[in-house]
Amino acid sequence: ASMGRTLVELFYDVISPYSWLAFEALCRYRHIWNIELRFRPAFLGGIMQQTGNKPPGMLPKRGEYLMKDVKRMAKYYQVPLHMTPDALQHILGTSSLTAMRFITAIDMTNPQYLEPLSRQFWMRFWSQHEDISQPENILAIARQAGLSAELSQKALEMASSPPVKERLKDTTTEALKHGAFGMPAVVAHYDGKPHLFFGSDRLELLGSIIGESTSFHHLGFMLS
C-alpha cells in the first residue's frame, strides 16, 4: 500500500447482495479513511463449494430474515437494491461464473473500468432483476459502464481463456486462504497481518481496528 495507507481488499461476487452494500460503503469510506481499497473479483460458488457453506436461503427462517435485513441495509446505505419475493430463487438459479470471468478480464486489461463495471452488474441484477449470465446481457452491461463495443467484445472472448480462468481461481483461493467462507470477504492488512471481516455489517469494527472512525455524522456526510 502507498505511504501509510492501510490496504483493504474486497473479495466479492456480483451475485451477492451484501457484497454490493460493502462495495458502496467502502467506496465512500475510501474518501475519509486513510485506506487503499483494492477490488478483488472472486467466485462465490467456488468458496461455497470449498468450505461446504450453503446459501442462506436454503434455511427458510434464515431466508425470511435475509429478505428483511437486505431491505433495511439497502435503505441505511442508500443503495438501490430491491429484494423481490423470489430473489433467493433468482440467486440459486443464476450462475455468476461468466460474469465474474468477464469482470476479471477487465481487471487484467483495463482496471480503470473495474468499479463502474462491477456496480453496473449489481444494478442489473439487484435493481432491475435482469439476467447477468448471458453474453449479450454482459455486453450491454459493459456498454452501460462506459466500455467500448470493441473492448467489451475482446473481454468476452478473453473470459473463456485459461489466463482469465486461472486468475479468477487464484483470487478465489486467496480469499479462502484468508479464511473466507462467503461473500463479501473484506481483508485489511494492518500491523503486518491480514484481518478478515465477513459481510457488510462489520465495517465499523474494521474501522476501529485500523484506527479510523465510523461515527454517524461521518456516515451522514458520506451519504448526502
State the catalytic residues: 16
Residues contacting residue 221 through CB under 8 Å, at least 6 positions apart: 32
DSSP code of residue 101: H
Instruction: Using DSSP, state whether 142 is helix, strand or coil.
Output: helix
> Would you state the cell numbers that stand for residue 86, as one nine-digit string?
423470489
Residue ranges of the alpha helices (H) in 78-128? 87-92, 97-109, 114-122
Residues contacting residue 186 through CB under 8 Å, at least 6 positions apart: 8, 9, 10, 11, 22, 26, 196, 197, 198, 202, 203, 206
Residues contacting residue 157 through CB under 8 Å, at least 6 positions apart: none
Which of these, 112, 113, 144, 104, lies nearest to 127 by C-alpha position?
Answer: 144
φ, ψ of residue 203 to 5 degrees: the values are -70, -30
> Would you state the cell numbers that stand for residue 68, as one nine-digit string?
428483511
